[in-house]
Amino acid sequence: MIEFNLLFVLVLIAIVVVSILTVAGGATLAERKVSAWMQDRVGPDRVGPLGTLQPLADGIKMFLKEDIVPKHVDKLFFVLGPILSCAIAMMGLTLIPVGPSTPAPAPVPLENGVVTQAAVDTFTAQMTAYQKADNYSIASGIDIGILFSFAVGSLAVYGIILGGWSSNSKYALLGSLRASAQIISYEIPLGMSIVGLILFTGSLNLEKIIDWQANNGWFILYQPLAFLLFITSVYAECNRLPFDLPEAEQELVGGYHTECSSMKFGFYMIGEYTHMISTSFLMAICFFGGWHFPGISMVDGYLGAFLKFGILMSKVGGFLLLYLLVRWTIPRFRFDQLMGLAWQVMFPLALINLVFVIIIREYDLSNWILTGISGGLFFGAAILSTREVDNKRRKVSYS
């Protein structure tokens, strides 16, 4: 049984929750600033220096705005839906290392089917050192880390479905149905894209995935196609453009949160941005080495912990910025295009990539062969997708 310091865990939970709420508020400001920069506008500049206090003003507005509950809604689930969506999104950060981490020791090995005393002593020493190490995650050493993160992330759709169904509004109901179909469809390539990483590391533990990359190189070098499938799937999981069909204000007013006001709308927005943050952590950890960076992450002590934390946060910040840039770059897909991309393009590519990983790992071939195959499929998929989008745009414009 792994012992842990309860006070340290409680303090870490408080720090993570406050940090997530702060970053989510800052992300709303960054979203407006980035969109203004891309569209040659000024953006928020009235509240505080250069508009930096705009998230605070938005938060105060959310709390003070009248909380309207229409008569035709199912009040229990109408209130529960937004809270559930936000709470589940925060649960996704439970097993994610938000700073430097140390992998748990391997189980006691057997010698001729027998556990030796020397092996037990070695394991005990390793476990003692592991328990004394600082692991910056709320629950460290859990061997189902990435599986738990995926499972919790997929549960967030229940908050959307409850909110849309309980609103008794056609727009909200259609938005929640779109969300359920979209998230269920994109969970398949999302899960398949990560199986190759598990075959390399032999573990679902996020700390061990980082440790493998620190010793062998980042997975983006071995699995570029898997990264493309992963990042596309998490964009769909977060309902972000170009996959924001559950909201689609031109078609559904606001989608599943059409009837929501005040903090109910705020909880949905916090849940969306929290999901963005947790998936940014997963992309940084699974494909870009987490806190690892050549030549820097080997520093020990407090300076090393600070540098590793800064490296991880920089990678997460880069993915959050990419979320914002993509939103104002790629137009929204039609719903048939969205579902066709998942089942006709991403699912076959994920299956092909997995087959090549299995063959190379089974016959102990060079990992760089997989890099070449995956990279070739990556560029081929990009070219075919670009041509397909252009052809569909031409058909629409001619009609």
**pLDDT at res. 284:** 93
Neighbouring C-beta atoms of residue 76, cutoff 10 Å: 10
Contact 34, 324 (CB under 8 A): yes
**pLDDT at res. 92:** 81
**pLDDT at res. 223:** 87
Model pTM score = 0.86
| Dihedral angle over CA of 37, 43, 47, 51, nearest 10 | 0
Half-sphere exposure of 145 (CA within 13 A, CB side): 29
- Which residues contact residue 170 at a Cβ distance below 8 angstroms, ignoring those fewer than 6 apart? none
d(CA 29, CA 234): 22
* The pair of three-digit structure tokens given for residue 397, joined into one six-digit string: 């414009």
* The pair of three-digit structure tokens given for residue 87, joined into one six-digit string: 């709470």
**SS3 readout for 126-139:** HHHHHHHCCCCCCC
CA angle 149, 254, 279 (to 5 degrees): 20
Give pLDDT < 70 ranges for the chain: 1-5, 106-115, 117, 119-121, 123, 126-134, 138, 297, 366-370, 375, 378-379, 381-399
* The pair of three-digit structure tokens given for residue 23, joined into one six-digit string: 């970053």
Domain boundaries, the chain: 6-101+136-398
- DSSP letter at 344 equals I
d(CA 233, CA 216): 26
- Which residues contact residue 1 at a Cβ distance below 8 angstroms, ignoring those fewer than 6 apart? none
CA distances from 274 to 23, 76, 121, 264, 267 (A): 9, 24, 42, 15, 10
Instruction: Give per-residue pLDDT as tens, 110-151.
Output: 666 666 767 666 767 766 666 666 677 767 777 888 888 888
CA distances from 321 to 29, 89, 131, 280, 328 (A): 12, 19, 35, 10, 11
